[in-house]
Amino acid sequence: MTEEEVKALLMEDIVEKIDTYAGMDEIFIEFNLDDCPLCINLYKGKEENEYRLNSVKHMNHFCSFCPREGLVCTVLSTHINQLFTRLIESNELRLIWLYRTYRLKKVA
C-alpha cells in the first residue's frame, strides 16, 4: 500500500483513551479507516518526557488491509507515522496534542 493510497482512506470516529498502570501512561487512539476499526497506541514511561508510537492494532476479527494473523496490522503499521499525523491533525485531537511531546516511530 502506498502513502497516497493511505492518504485517500476515509478516517472517522476518532476517540482517545488514556490508561495508566505500573508508572506508565498509555494512550489508545481508536478510529475507523474505511469502516475498518483500528487503534494506534502510544506509551510514556514514568521517567520519560515524550510519548512513543507503538503499533497499529486491529479492533475486531476482520481487517480490510492485511491477512489478519494477529493483533498488529502489518500493512498499516508501516504507515504508522502518516496515520498518527493525520489523527492528531483531526478536529477531534488537534487541541489535545498541541502541547504533548511525542516521537515518531522509525519504520524500515
Instruction: Name the residue with cell 515518531.
Output: 104
3-state secondary structure of 68: coil
Q: CA-to-CA distance for 45 and 27, rounded, in angstroms?
A: 12
Is 108 a domain residue?
no
Report the number of distinct structural domains present in the chain.
1
pLDDT at 29: 96
Nearest Cα to Cα of residue 105 among 52, 39, 58, 57: 52
Strand partners, 5: none
Residue 52 domain flag: yes
Q: Is 70 a residue whose pLDDT tops 80? A: no
Distance between CA 3 and CA 14 in Å, rounded?
Answer: 20
Residue with cell 476499526: 37
Distance CA 85, CA 82 (A): 5
pTM over 0.85: yes
- Residue span of the structural domain in which 59 resides: 3-103
Is residue 33 in some structural domain? yes
Per-residue model confidence as pLDDT tens digits over 35-53? 999 999 999 877 788 899 9
